[in-house]
Chains A and B, each alone.
Chain A
Amino acid sequence: MTAAFLLIPAIRGARRNLGKRSPKVLAALAIGGVLFALALYLGLYKFLEYIARAPMLGPIFGPMVGSLLASKFLEMLFLSLFFMILFSSLIAGFSAFYLDDEIRLLVSTPVRATHIFWSRFVLMVVESSWMVVAFFTPIFFAFATALKAPFWAYFVFPVYLGMFLLLPNILGGVAALGLASFFPIRQMRKVCQFLSAMVLATMIIFFRFLEPEKLLNPKYFSSVSNYILNLKNPAMEYFPSTWIHQASLTLFEGNMSESLSAILPVFFSMLLGLALLHLLAKYFYLASWQASLEAVENQVLGLEWIRRALILPMRFFAEDFRVVAVKEITVFLRDPAIFSQIFMMAAIVFVYGYNLTIIPLKDLPSLYSGEISDSMVFFNGPFIGFILAALGMRFVYPSISLEGRAFWAVKASPIQPSRLLKVKFFLYLVPTLFLGFGLCFISNRIFQVSNGLLYWLSFLNVGLMALVITALAIGLGALYARFDADNPLKIAGSFGGFVFMVLSAVYVMNLLVLESYPLFRLYFIRFYPLTQASGKILVLLSFFLLLVCTVLWVYIPLSQGKEAIERYEPD
């Protein structure tokens, strides 16, 4: 029996899951995905083409510095990709090697431990890498096109990328095996989740403090030669991201032989890593798996005071609302993985806030400064929407699935499952609104919004987005519920999570389109006062349509989710 044979159930399961989806939805998503990839590819290609010329540096230094800048961005991308997959594989590794129930069955069969390990390793690689690869592929192809790569480079590059991606996965696998051999895995997993989130968040913050936008601003150069030298130096010379960066650059330039010699360190590191992993698996996997069974989590975790404080106001609500809310808060706070996620989200919010503070609004021409500053509020809306959607995907969307197999208790009780949906909707709406309004308040202070109407309109926008995003998360969470999954990350990264993100983006677009006319009139009200009746009617009509659309965006997903949850029949 080989490791490949052991993958058959996972492959069949994935095919079965895909087969359950309506072909129309699948086709719509496939088209949407291709369009998104195309937009990403073309947008980045245009950007890179511009960067490669760097016209702000003049006709002589521009192209020279520009190509170095594009190359530097590529290097940064490989570095980010390496770390993202390393952390992702570390968490996926613990789950794939130790925590899946299926392993118990496999270990009791005559299958060799190394075969079990390698089959789990493949699952780990897929889980940790598929989404990142799907997102990064059009980006890399944009680089290839911008650097005028020959057609065959597009076929060779995926091979390079595959080898490169195996490296962080091998490292993640080695780390998971090593840590599990010395520590009780069930506790280690939490520790590592927390640590990896912390390191990753530090990286994001560190990256932001490097202020890459300064690379494009001549004001910061002390001397051009120093700058060029700085750009030419790789960030880390003996690191896989530098190797693949060099190999890719030469590949895109059409220099195959040089490219092959540059990729050799990646290839040999991969072989060495696989051999090391095999040895570790052979001698440590079974023993560490057996040790992992011994650690039991049996204590009520800390932070009880936060839980008690949060559930205190619930006593003023109806009994069924109270118990569902208390259960939700308790389960949420007792899941240790939640803290690493909260930490990550806090880092995203921090980076967002920091980015706002470095926008050079002070340097704007004085005549239009008020309008430009005010218009930032309009463009800031989608960013807040994106943050709310990202949080919604991670914390709100999985909440229905996380009822898990215990959901029978609700189905067998007199309470209607749709009531559960309503309680969750209102429960999650409150923090979503709080966060949205908080971000809106801070950004309005930073932008020093001068127009009072616009100021309050930004709050209305955020309120509407919070309402729709929560409704989408709860409704789609019920429609695409996976009661068999216990990992919120897995639930969020599933098909339904993807649909949620796409629809959230579509709503934000919908909101922007419908508000564009009223806001256009508002910005330029001091030049073109709103006196004509037709203009006023159009403004009113836009807001009326926005309200109607928002009601539909809230009602449709919630009613679909309600039907799905009523229809759902637990195993």
Chain B
Amino acid sequence: MTIRINGKTEALDSASLTVTEILAVRNVPDPDMVSVQLNGDILEREEFETRSVREGDELEFLYFMGGGSPR
């Protein structure tokens, strides 16, 4: 499938993956500190395992580790 992650088009070798699986593929070290938006919806941590990402979806990962402010 082809999706957009943080505004960039990415091709993944699967028709559907959970958010947790995508975080693992991208070697994100600390999922508990990542904020995730799927097609504009902010996901809660427990949804990472259950929400599936499919062709054409838009994902935003926000890290809040090295810069930026929530305001």
Q: Do A and B bind each other?
A: no
